[in-house]
Amino acid sequence: MNLPPSHLSRRDWLRQCATGFGSVALSHLLSQDALAGALQPKAPHFPAKAKRVIFLFMHGGPSQVDTFDYKPLLQRDHGKPLPFALPRVVSSKTGTLLRSPWNFSQHGQSGAWVSDLFPHLATCVDDLCFIHSMHCSNSRHGAAVLELCTGSDTFIRPSMGSWISYGLGTESQNLPSFITLCPNPSLGGSNAYGSAFLPADHQGTPVGNVTTPTSRAKIPFIENSEKTPLHLQREELDFLESLNRAHLQNRATDDRLEARIHSFELAFRMQASVPDLQDLSSESPQTQKAYGLDNPVTENFGRQCLLARRLIEQGVRFVQCSHSYKWDQHASLQKDHTRNAAEVDLPIAALLRDLRERGLLEDTLVLWGGEFGRTPVAQGGDGRDHNPHGYTMWMAGGGVRPGFRYGQTDDYGFYATENKVHVHDLHATMLHLLGMDHKRLTYRHAGRNFRLTDVHGHVVHDILA
């Protein structure tokens, strides 16, 4: 359905594609004769606060009660049984309440509580909008990752990055609209950044994967396997173009042929520009240091954060950084949460500051969090189980209320109790910030109009700036 039939002109095809999308600026779409019709920048439904998204994904499930959701009663009642019922479905056997091994203190004008795990981020709390009442439906990693990234823990659905790409297109000349840095190939895998039934142009382009250090992560196929010098490749591409131009005689009605000629030109431009983009040595020594590139602990995630900034500067619409599957502390909470936080704390604070200084934070939405949180009750002596019933995520920039805390969990941080925000609500709110009505961003597939939020989702108006 998504291929332009051979003699349908590009213009007709674009028009047809566009009818699937409510208030796309059709004239804008048609005014540009570029190859990637599906990726043309599109006007949102209404004026947007955010133009792009950086998602800092803490895969594994960071513990809310050890980071940002301070619970004095948990500290007090350490060792006592949970005074209310466990959920009907749990992942593992848990014991009594486990106090947080970290101290909490209040920070900034907003007085947000942050544990000792995040000393650098603590200096940024007045930029952050905490949602303490997140909840989702599934207590296992794979399903919860898919729910967070696609809205469904049951079916294969397009990912949020691909929905946003579909809704807004890309502003980059040389880059895909949705890039995911070093994703995990398992526990959701490529379905967590795939486009499912949306046109394939919108799928997330993985740059490296979890086994690749960020410094060596590459866009697929961008490196010539034989290290052929560029001017030789240019020679070959010119010859290829002459073959294709000759073939195009008498076939001019088929726009795909012309589009494919352009695709080689775009590929050549990408190939020339991407290595520079990924070469972080062009950043000032101060910037490199600020992101922690000089320290082996912070270097890897620091590169992701810095790369994210450079990618959005190039017009990429959605960048996902993955601190991949490190936060799953069923045991060894003290040691591993300490290490995890140390790896990301400084780079994230640097990213926020850098975005602010460059005037980018205003219209860039930064989202931080995992696929779920962790239980306030102990698993073993030094661990916590998965907890999809109440956890914290935060956002910054892009039209959210800075220095704000929204929603609550119960006294021990187990269940979201007040102003609960489901993952569907998070998606609806993100789309709203990007200028899109989650009920109108639809795609017709198998006889039905699908949306990111399925039949759910409410915009959380209280957290809008």
Per CB under 8 A, the list member of 264, 353, 439, 440 interacting with other proteins is 264
- Please tell me whether residue 461 binds other proteins under the rule CB under 8 A: no
Which lies closer to other proteins via its Cβ, residue 226 or residue 357?
Answer: 226
Scanning 66-74, 94-102, 115-123, 218-226 for contacts with other proteins by CB under 8 A, the matching segment is 218-226
Per CB under 8 A, the list member of 27, 31, 109, 226 interacting with other proteins is 226
Q: Is the C-alpha dihedral spanning 91, 419, 428, 463 positive or negative?
A: negative
- Please tell me whether residue 91 binds other proteins under the rule CB under 8 A: yes
Site for other proteins in 406-445 (CB under 8 A): 410, 415, 417-420, 444
- Please tell me whether residue 374 binds other proteins under the rule CB under 8 A: no
Per CB under 8 A, the list member of 31, 109, 225, 281 interacting with other proteins is 225
Question: In whole angstroms, how close is the CB of 306 to other proteins at the nearest point?
Answer: 23
Q: Are 161 and 301 in contact (CB under 8 A)?
A: no
Per CB under 8 A, the list member of 56, 122, 270, 341 interacting with other proteins is 270
- Please tell me whether residue 236 binds other proteins under the rule CB under 8 A: yes
Q: Are strands 128-135 and 404-406 parallel, antiparallel or unpaired?
A: parallel
User: Residues 28-67 vs other proteins: string with x where CB under 8 A?
Assistant: -------xx-------------------------------
Site for other proteins in 310-339 (CB under 8 A): 324-325
Question: In whole angstroms, how close is the CB of 335 to other proteins at the nearest point?
Answer: 13
- Please tell me whether residue 267 binds other proteins under the rule CB under 8 A: yes
Per CB under 8 A, the list member of 31, 88, 109, 281 interacting with other proteins is 88
Per CB under 8 A, the list member of 96, 105, 215, 263 interacting with other proteins is 263
- Please tell me whether residue 249 binds other proteins under the rule CB under 8 A: no
Q: How many residues bind other proteins (CB under 8 A)?
A: 100
Site for other proteins in 286-315 (CB under 8 A): none
Site for other proteins in 131-160 (CB under 8 A): 137-143, 145-146, 153-156
Question: In whole angstroms, how close is the CB of 189 to other proteins at the nearest point?
Answer: 3
- Please tell me whether residue 112 binds other proteins under the rule CB under 8 A: no
Which lies closer to other proteins via its Cβ, residue 47 or residue 229?
Answer: 229
- Please tell me whether residue 199 binds other proteins under the rule CB under 8 A: yes
Which lies closer to other proteins via its Cβ, residue 201 or residue 363?
Answer: 201
